[in-house]
Amino acid sequence: METKTILSKEAEKTPGFYGEFGGAFVPPVLEPNLSRLSEAFEKYRKDADFNKEFLYYLKQYVGRPSPLYYAGRLSKHVGSNIYLKREDLNHTGSHKINNTIGQILLAKRMGATEIIAETGAGQHGVATATVAALFGIPCKVFMGEEDIQRQAMNVSRMKLLGTEVIPATSGTKTLADAVDAALGYFVEHPDSYYLLGSQVGPHPYPNIVGYFQSVIGNEARQQIMETQGKLPDSIFACIGGGSNAIGLFQAFLDDSAVRIYAAEGGGSGTMPFTAATLSFGRLGHFQGTYSYCLSDDQGNPLPSHSIAAGLDYPGVSPQHAYLKENNRVEYSPVTDKEAVDAYMALSRLEGIIPAIESAHAIALAMKKLKDRNEVSIVNLSGRGDKDVARDM
């Protein structure tokens, strides 16, 4: 598969860094694991058979390419031309499966006998449990005790798929604690493969996740050229850790005429009730990487708040930190209320119930595109079935 420049020029010089962001700030015991993973990834990303197998599963199992759908009624309502990249139609219901397929193929080649993963809302846990079942590798998913209560349906799905769900009982008992628990298990079980779910964590994970998700933007670019004969004027995605956003953005980073927007989980709209890490965070080291983080005056990570569990994380991808610093991407907080309004609007106007995470991107697009009559792509990162039972 062709991927465009994933790394910045600086990152090519110093592997694992995007400008000053990124790196691998981990306990020494993890270093051998991460260098082994780095070597394997560098080898297989250039391997024709590996990429062929990846594309085979994306097509026959996930159902790719996902459509680029012209949202006619939404477009009319907003006064602009909006195309939706339909990641919600993928098997298991979101973009997360692109990354888990790629990483399980890597794990298989590295001889992994056990898969471990973290999950917040359970979407990445389900996508990991799915590919672990597909390839017959035992799987453990770490999940905050609080999230286990809140996301019962996804816990049942994981168990049905044969995965063991292990509660993380420290801290706020949510996603950041699940990552800590998974990293702790990884240190003690170096033969397991840690299948990380977003564009976060130590090098080489941001590279790996960015590479496997780049299929989104590569397809979208080709699809918009086919239907419009030109590049879009702007593109939009929501951002939690940053994987669906980087997946779409990469293919357009070098096209300076394409404006790029990312919607953060704004929560109530102000500190501390927010998950808008790039809008309100500070620079610091968090879970293995140097990037922005929601933290207090002493630099300790703060709990994040967003209506969307998938955006509810105090850290963020180092590549997005770099794109913010260079003003290539504009990051804006979208409040819980704005997201719920967009969630309702898309359901009523298009018959598509979006994930509440994706509704953040829709909300930002509706705001920025009002009566602009331009051509835009919005990444619909997932479907909203998981959110229907909630009282919004």
Ligand X SMILES: *Cc1c(COP(=O)(O)O)cnc(C)c1O
Residue positions counted in the chain: 392
Nearer to ligand X, 81 or 119 (CB): 119
259-267 sheet: strands from edge to edge: 68-70, 81-86, 375-380, 234-239, 259-267, 329-335
Helices (H) and strands (E) in the chain, counts: 17, 14
* Residue of 85, 87, 118, 332 marked catalytic: 118
Task: Considering the complex, state which of residue 123 and residue 163 has its C-beta at the smaller distance from ligand X.
Answer: 123
217 vs 242, beta carbon nearer ligand X:
242
Quote the CA–CA distance of 304 and 312 in Å, as a whole number: 6
Under the binding rule (CB under 6 A), the answer on residue 158 touching ligand X is no
Active-site residue, selected from the candidate residues 85, 96, 140, 173: 96
Ranges within 74-113 binding ligand X (CB under 6 A)? 94, 96
Q: Does residue number 379 form part of the binding site for ligand X (CB under 6 A)?
A: no
Beta strand pairing call for 282-286 and 289-293: antiparallel
For position 240 contacting ligand X by CB under 6 A, the verdict is yes
Part in contact with ligand X (CB under 6 A); list of ranges 9-17, 128-136, 294-302, 352-360: 352-360
Alpha helix positions (H), the chain: 9-13, 31-45, 48-57, 72-78, 96-109, 123-135, 145-150, 152-160, 175-188, 205-213, 215-228, 243-249, 277-280, 318-325, 336-350, 356-368, 385-388
Nearest residue (CB) to ligand X, 81 versus 100: 100
Q: Check: CB of residue 217 under 8 Å from CB of residue 249.
A: yes
Angle between helices 152-160 and 123-135 (to 10 degrees): 10
Rounded-to-integer distance, Cα 234 and Cα 260, Å? 6
Q: Contact with ligand X (CB under 6 A): which of 33, 80, 123, 287?
A: 123
Whose tokens are 């850290």? That residue is 315
Out of 310, 315, 318, 333, the only residue in the binding site for ligand X (CB under 6 A) is: 310
Q: Which stretch binds ligand X (CB under 6 A): 140-148, 177-185, 241-249, 327-335?
A: 241-249
267 is a site residue for ligand X (CB under 6 A): no
Between 81 and 94, name the residue whose CB sits nearer to ligand X. Answer: 94
Stretch that binds ligand X, among 52-60, 143-151, 332-340, 351-359 (CB under 6 A): 351-359
Please state, in angstroms and rounded to a whole number, the distance separating the CA atoms of residues 345 and 102: 34
Binding residue for ligand X (CB under 6 A) from 239, 260, 339, 352? 239
Q: 96 catalytic, yes or no?
A: yes
Query: Which residue in 33, 291, 358, 376 binds ligand X (CB under 6 A)?
Result: 358
Q: Which is nearer to ligand X, 81 or 142 (CB)?
A: 142
DSSP H or E stretch at residue 70: strand 68-70
Footprint of ligand X on residues 186-215 (CB under 6 A)?
A: 198-199
**Identified binder of ligand X from the candidate list 58, 357, 362, 364, rule CB under 6 A:** 357
Place of tokens 């270093």: 31
- Secondary structure element (H or E) that encloses residue 285, with its range: strand 282-286
CA distance 123 to 114: 20
Is 9 a residue of the active site? no
User: In 3-state terms, what secondary structure has residue 295?
Assistant: strand
Tell me, yes or no, if 164 is annotated catalytic: no
Taking contact as CB under 6 A, which single stretch among the options 29-37, 68-76, 238-246, 270-278 is the one that binds ligand X? 238-246
Query: Stretches 151-159, 214-222, 329-337, 350-358: which one binds ligand X (CB under 6 A)?
Result: 350-358
- Give the three-class secondary structure for 118: strand
Please identify which residue in 144, 241, 301, 333 interacts with ligand X, judged by CB under 6 A: 241
Run of H or E residues at 370: none
Contact by Cβ (8 Å): 193, 133:
no
244 binds ligand X (CB under 6 A): yes
CB of 231 to ligand X, least distance (A): 23
Residues forming contacts to ligand X in the complex (CB under 6 A) are: 94, 96, 123, 198-199, 238-245, 310-311, 355, 357-358, 381-382
The catalytic site residues sit at 96, 118, 381
